[in-house]
Structure formats: structure tokens, C-alpha cells
Amino acid sequence: MPYLITVSIIWAFSFGIVGNRLAGVDPNWIATLRSLLALLLFLPLLRLQSIGGWRSSLPLLLCGAVQFGMMYLFLFASFRYLPSHQVALFSILTPIYVYALADLQRRRFSKRFLLAALLSIIGALIIRMQTLSLNGQMLSGFLLLQGANLSFAAGQVYYRHWKQRHPAQREHQHFALLFTGALVLSLLWTLSTRGWAPLWQIDSSQWSYILYLGFVATGMGFFWWNKGASRVTPGALAASNNAVIPMAVFVSLFIFDEIGLLSIEGILRLIIGAAIIVIAMFIGSKKSA
């Protein structure tokens, strides 16, 4: 648990940094650069022989491509439609996916997940509802973020299962493989959508934030998170996914001054919608008898 708590504090600032300090930077390049910097951090520690060579490395490469690479592509795309405090808030559904995937792995299913999903959508609509019409921008951001949540949850559940099957494996000796998978996916997607020009538009202060996000939030953050995830129960892991949410919302609203974006009515909608999403989280995370 200490690993998960430490990472929650680190990640609380990431939402505001991406949504405010790196606004205007191509989100695909942010994903690629974070994965690259994290890989450079762990590449000197890689010991392929400890896990049986490249062929045995494929599951970890795929795990990293989904948990980090695909998650980042969805996550950063959502910042185009949502302010960072709402990105943080809508990440509260990750525990539902952790429980659902863990149950699916054990070939079980609960109707609670369907109810939790419906409630979460209602809460999200209340937060962004200006009129009775559907807000297409909010819906786009919300759906993109659910892709990120599902990718992150799938990676956590798989890595926890893999580590339990390979208890002798030391995390620092193979973690570069996960970032390699993430980098390959992010780089291929980024190059297929835009060229190298956006890199020259990043100023020195933004590079400092990218270095922090790459080495600390991504590199050490994901390493400590997956290390902690392999040492706790699925219930504790699911609950830990939400420890970062209230801190991230607070940081975005008050430290990065997004509170000024909200009217009194908007603050009330945020409180009501957040309460419904929290109820959805508890319904989806409640353990079966």
C-alpha cells in the first residue's frame, strides 16, 4: 500500500500539468515522450535472460502497450474536450473496470457493474449539462476517458496475474519491456497522424514539465504502482485507483485555478454529479458475498 499511496500523491499533479501547463502541445507527442523517458530510466536495468529472452517478453510488451501506451493515447485525447478536474473526476470509474476484469478472469459477472456504469453516465451528464440537450463535447471526452480507464485497468489486472505466476521475477529487471511496448504503440500512432514539427513548438518550461512527467510520474510512478498492485488484493487495488481522484480534483481546481471556470450552478452540478459517480464506484466495487 505505501507504493500506491505515494504514486497517488505524485499523479494528483499530473492532470493539472497536462491540462494547463502543456495545453496546446500535441497530446500524442506527450504520450510518446513520457514513454520514451520512462524507458530510458529503466533500460539500463533490463535483464532479458532473467525472464527467458525476447519470446518470453512478448506478454510484458503487450501489457505495457495496453496499460501505458493505449491508456495515454485515450487519456491525453480527452483533455481536448474536458478540463483537467473533470478528467480526474471521470477517472473514478477505473475500480469498476478492475473488479469487472478480475471477475471476468475468474469467469464471473455481476449486474452491479451495469448499474454502476449507468449511474456514472448520469453523474457525468449532470456535471456538464447546460440544457436538456446532450453535450457532444462532454460525451466525446467522457468516452475517450473510459477507453483510458479500461486500458489502465486491464494492464493492472494482467500484470498482477503475471507477477503472481512469476513470483521470483524482480520488477526492475523487466519493467523496461512494459515501457517499450508503450513507446512502440505511441510512436507508431503519433507518426501516422502528424510529423515531427510539433516538437519544435515546445518551449523550455514545457520541456521541464515533460521531463517531470516522463521520469517521475510515468517512470517511477508506474513502476511503484505495478509493484504495489502485485502485492495487494483486487479489492485493495480497485480502491487505490480512486485515492488519486479527490487530490487531483482539488489540485486542478485550486492550485491550477480551474475553480474560476465554474459558476455557482456549475459547482453545484459538480458536487451532485460527483456524488452520483462516487455511489456508482461503491456499487461497482462492492465485493460479492
CA 278 to chain centre: 18
Measured CA to CA, the distance from residue 277 to residue 229 in angstroms comes to 24
CA 24 to chain centre: 20
| Segments making up each domain of the chain, as ranges | 2-285
Measured CA to CA, the distance from residue 224 to residue 221 in angstroms comes to 5
Measured CA to CA, the distance from residue 150 to residue 119 in angstroms comes to 17
Is there a contact between 206 and 136 (Cβ–Cβ < 8 Å)? no
**224-248: pLDDT as tens digits:** 888 887 776 665 565 566 656 666 6
For 203-229, give one letter per residue: b (16+ CB within 10 A) or e.
eeebeebbebbbbbbbbbbbbbbbbbb
Q: What's the full length of the chain, in residues? A: 289
Q: Is the pTM of this model over 0.85?
A: no
Sign of CA dihedral 129, 130, 132, 138: negative
**244-275: pLDDT as tens digits:** 666 666 777 777 666 665 667 767 776 787 77
How distant, in Å, are the alpha carbons of 108, 112, 115, 216, 237 from that of 99? 10, 10, 14, 28, 9
Per-residue pLDDT of the chain (289 residues; tens, 9 = 90+): 677 778 878 887 887 788 788 877 888 888 899 999 999 999 998 888 877 767 778 999 999 999 999 998 898 888 888 887 778 777 777 777 777 787 777 666 666 666 766 676 676 667 655 443 456 777 888 889 899 999 988 998 888 888 888 887 888 888 899 999 999 999 998 888 765 556 777 888 899 999 999 999 999 988 888 888 777 666 556 556 665 666 666 777 777 666 665 667 767 776 787 777 677 667 755 554 3
Mean pLDDT of the chain: 78
How distant, in Å, are the alpha carbons of 148, 182, 249 from that of 152? 6, 12, 19
Measured CA to CA, the distance from residue 177 to residue 182 in angstroms comes to 9
